[in-house]
Amino acid sequence: MMPTALDWLQSLPRLSGEPGLDRMKALLAALGDPQKRGRYVHIAGTNGKGSVAAFTANILQKAGFKTGLTISPYVLDFRERFQINGQMIPPDDLERLAAKVRAAAETLAETPVQFEAVTALALCWFDEEQCDIAVLETGLGGRFDATNAVENTLVAAITRIDLDHTELLGGTVEKIAAEKAGIVKPGCIAVTYPVQEKEALQAIAAACIREKADLVAPEAEDIHLRRGGLFENRMEYGGYEVNLTLPGAHQACNAAMAIEIALALWRQGLDIPDEAILEGLEATRFPARIEVLRSQPLVLLDGSHNPAGAAALAATLGAQKLPQKPAAVLGVLADKAAAEMLRALGDSFSTIYAVTPDCPRAMSADELAELASKELPEVPVYLCADLGQALDTALGLPQGAVVCGSLYLAAQVRPMLLERL
């Protein structure tokens, strides 16, 4: 079978050469500069980008705007990366636009990397479909991210900043925040996470001063969590009382950001009623973000893959006051801070079943089992060469199971779990 244009796109390298936007801008110019005809909400950060993007896109859709959305990475289907009003790009359009991007790329002196081609494809689709606005999630960083080739940014949102991809973005939260805040454009409104480290907030504020952009920073004490049932997330912020489907105090903070993004857009002339904010937040669902697939016994899937994400998972589990600690089916990538993740998870689990995610960058199950035994000596750890067997064992336990450690593992496991439940 002849390779398709989509095969070409997926075969492109992840990283290449020196960081910069010249290659991306050249690709967009060859495509007729589709980004120049759009309006954007641009979202960067270490954790929570996808959730804030989904909250925001749903609010805009409920307000009646034709809304484009990019997310990165996808969980189950490559087409998740490209959405309009909650619907993934049709397969025929994906192949047609991949061919268009390939033809444009072949006229250039330098081949684009995969995320540049993916972003160009999304911008072409949004332009063709005449979206009123698009919500763009960065892939890595901000200043030199392919999405930062857009110009008409109405709101730049910076979610929680933590240490991740330090080899590319810098070894401190201040340096990483400065890179992420590179998406702030002159005259836009910037919105940041309610609980940023001081150094990160200072870097974001400096970018806003430089670009003459207003900065909105929600106060954590203004976010009120209400008592609810198991994994319910009832919160109130700024007069908006909602019951989120995404559990965890961190998701309440992400929702507060989305509220402020909506209000910032309203101040710039977009008609966003209060009802759209409430309905958009409550309608948001996101696979593999502390996703409860079954409540009794518990089956939970989470794709968090760094220490801050692991800490959010541990805090959410701890807040439920479960009668028994669940077992964990755990898999991580070798280039992630696995030891710190394990320490962040602490004593959240009764047992750990170590597995190997289906990814070339995966840490082997035996290496993970050895590390987990060292970091969490009080928790029994079992090496599982067979993922299906590990799932069957964990799902058969009365205390329930949590599958976590990697989005790659989450994508691999989610259909397997749904078959078993």
Per residue, the 3-state secondary structure of 219-247, as one string, reads CHHHCEEECCCCCCEEEEECCEEEEECCC
Indicate whether 160 and 51 sit together in one domain.
yes
List the CATH number of the domain containing 183: 3.40.1190.10
- The mean per-residue pLDDT over the stretch 188-193 comes to 97
Indicate whether 347 and 302 sit together in one domain.
yes
Q: What is the pLDDT of residue 286?
A: 87
Residue where a domain stops, chosen among 226, 251, 283: 283
Cα gap 296→398, rounded to integer Å: 9
Indicate whether 43 and 191 sit together in one domain.
yes
pLDDT band for position 163 (cuts 50, 70, 90): low
Indicate whether 205 and 331 sit together in one domain.
no
Look at residue 227 and tell me whether its pLDDT is greater than 90. no
List the CATH number of the domain containing 345: 3.90.190.20
pLDDT band for position 167 (cuts 50, 70, 90): low
Indicate whether 216 and 365 sit together in one domain.
no
Indicate whether 277 and 317 sit together in one domain.
no
Q: For residue 234, how many other CB atoms are within 10 A of its CB? A: 15
**pLDDT tens sequence across 267-284:** 999 999 999 999 999 999
Indicate whether 210 and 359 sit together in one domain.
no
Cα gap 391→376, rounded to integer Å: 21
Residue where a domain stops, chosen among 236, 257, 283: 283
Domain range for 342 is 291-420
Radius of gyration for the alpha carbons in the chain, expressed in angstroms and rounded = 21
Look at residue 165 and tell me whether its pLDDT is greater than 70. no
pLDDT band for position 164 (cuts 50, 70, 90): low
Indicate whether 336 and 256 sit together in one domain.
no
Indicate whether 109 and 131 sit together in one domain.
yes
What mean pLDDT, rounded, does the chain reach? 93
Indicate whether 267 and 374 sit together in one domain.
no
Cα gap 228→132, rounded to integer Å: 37
Total H helices, total E strands in the chain: 15, 17
Q: What are the DSSP calls for 348-414, one per residue? A: --S-EEE---SSTTBPPHHHHHHHHHHH-TTS-EEE-S-HHHHHHHHHTSTT-EEEES-HHHHHHHH
The closest alpha carbon to 58, from 262, 225, 268, 288, belongs to: 262
Exposure on the CB side of residue 386, measured as CA atoms within 13 A = 4
Cα gap 113→120, rounded to integer Å: 11
Indicate whether 256 and 374 sit together in one domain.
no
298 SS3 class: strand
Task: Locate 118 and state its tokens.
Answer: 């993916």
How many residues does the structure list for the chain? 421
Q: What is the pLDDT of residue 229?
A: 82
Q: For residue 414, how many other CB atoms are within 10 A of its CB? A: 19
Q: How many domains does the chain have?
A: 2
Indicate whether 316 and 253 sit together in one domain.
no
Residue where a domain stops, chosen among 234, 267, 283: 283
